[in-house]
A = this chain, B = another copy of it.
Amino acid sequence: MSGYFRRVDDVASFSADTGTKADLFTGGHLFVGLNCFEPGQAQRLHTHHGADKFYLIVSGRAVMAVGDESHEAGPGTVVWAPADVPHGVTRALERTVMLVGIAPPPR
C-alpha cells in the first residue's frame, strides 16, 4: 500500500516445515511482525530479557502459554508476555496468523 500501511494478508506466509516469522515495521522502540503456523506447528517456550511482547491472534486458533497460564486463543485474543516471563505457542490447531509486537525491538 505505502510506507506506513501494510496488510497482514500481503505479508503472511507458511511453511510445511516450521512456523514462519515476517517483519512488518521496526523503529527505535518497537518491532511489529507476524508469526504464522500451519496446524500442529509450535513455537518453543522462550523469554525476552528486558523486552515486553504481545501476540494478537489475527486468524486461526492455537494453544498459547505464558508463565503458568495456558489457553486456547482465537481471533481477537491478545496474549501478553511481559519482560522475562517465558511464553510460546504450544500448538497451532488451525492455520494461524499472529501479529506480534516486541519493545524494545530484538537486535
Question: Chain A, 54-90, contact with B by CB distance < 8 Å: what is the 0/1 string?
Answer: 1010100000101101010100111111110100000
Closest B residue, CB atoms, query A77: B7
A interface secondary structure, majority: strand
| Beta-carbon contact of B4 and A28 below 8 Å | no
* B residues near A106, Cβ cutoff 8 Å: none
| Beta-carbon contact of B29 and A83 below 8 Å | yes
* B residues near A1, Cβ cutoff 8 Å: 71, 77
B-binding residues in A (CB < 8 A): 1-9, 24-25, 27-30, 32, 50-54, 56, 58, 64, 66-67, 69, 71, 73, 76-83, 85, 99, 101-104
